[in-house]
Amino acid sequence: MSRMNERNYLPGTIRERLQELMKRRHIKQADLAEKIGVDNATLSRFINGKTDKISPDAIVRMAKEFEVSTDFLLGVVNDPARKNYDIGEIGLTVDAARNLYTGKVNADVVNRLLTNDRFADTADQIALYLEDRLARGVAAQNEIYGLACNQLKKIPDAKKDADEIHSWISNPHRDELNGITSSFEASLREIKKEYGSDNLKETQVMSREITRGMYAEVMKGRDIRDPKLTPEEYVDRVCVYLTTSQGISETLLKPFRWVLIFLLKLFGGKAAHGQIND
């Protein structure tokens, strides 16, 4: 049996799976028997098809040893990836699992982050940041710069050099945080592309069209230089447009109408005089 690609194997039985995995992982039969707690002779008879007796616990231990799912080992699926992990094995706390299970944290977002290669680098950077490993090096470097700066200040003609060295002193965490932010933002951009969402562009186009429509309705039959509209008249025309062309109910527009009149009066009626931008 040979692999089709990195993730999927050709169909096979549990015996074929075991032989292939042992070959690829360079694990001898005797060593595997010891690791899963099965007598070597028993395992040999099973692999050679002389017996079908093998305990469920032994199959689970085999799957764990080879880091594959039991379904793959049994030949049910051709993807070796494990689908279920013990929380303790992956270091996930019970509280973290509970937040995912109860929907307190968006599981889809977490899945996309964890499967994003760039986010793995981000996680490593965060770990270094939390451990202060890089920051300790920067702090030590700052001490050297500070010492050199103080020594140069004692020399009358070295003030310029002292100021330059002083400028080299940096916040121990600043560069780390900037790097983490850049890496995380890059991950989010990649995930956004996976969603294939152009909703923002569509919304911008829609908003622009609605704004132009409202402006056309408001200025209909009016002199653009001096439309002579009161705030109430202006808002009434806007609401009529939204009701007739966008299907928005008058009930929903009541609070909008009140707020818009208030804003027009507050800002001196700029909008009523045609000062509306796309």
Q: What is the pLDDT of residue 271?
A: 46
> Which DSSP string corresponds to the chain?
--BSSSS-B----HHHHHHHHHHHHT--HHHHHHHHT--HHHHHHHHTTS-----HHHHHHHHHHHT--HHHHTTS-S----S---TTTTT--HHHHHHHHTTSS-HHHHHHHHT-HHHHHHHHHHHHHHHTHHHHHHHHHHHHHHHHHHHHHTSGGGHHHHHHHHHT---TTHHHHHHHHHHHHHHHHHHHHHHT--HHHHHHHHHHHHHHHHHHHHHTTS-TT-----HHHHHHHHHHHHHHHH---HHHHHHHHHHHHHHHHHTTTTGGGT----
* CB-CB contact of 9 with 20 (8 Å): yes
Q: Is the pTM of this model over 0.95?
A: no
Of 92, 94, 66, 93, residue with least CA distance to 80: 66
Q: What is the pLDDT of residue 4?
A: 37
What is the Cα–Cα distance from 213 to 278, expressed in whole angstroms?
11
* CB-CB contact of 241 with 217 (8 Å): yes
Q: What is the pLDDT of residue 3?
A: 39
Q: What is the pLDDT of residue 134?
A: 74
Domains defined along the chain, listed by start: 14-73 (1.10.260.40), 118-195 (no CATH), 199-273 (no CATH)
Give me the tens of pLDDT residue by residue for the chain, a chain 278 residues long: 433 344 567 677 888 889 989 998 899 999 999 999 999 999 999 989 898 888 888 888 888 888 888 888 888 888 877 666 666 667 778 788 788 778 888 888 888 888 888 898 999 989 888 888 777 777 788 888 788 888 888 888 888 888 888 888 877 778 888 888 999 999 888 888 877 665 556 555 656 777 777 777 777 777 666 667 788 888 888 888 888 877 787 787 788 778 878 777 777 644 444 444 44
Q: 3 forms bridges with which residues in the sheet?
A: 9
Residues whose CB falls within 8 Å of the CB of residue 100, separated by 6 or more in sequence, listed in order? 107, 110
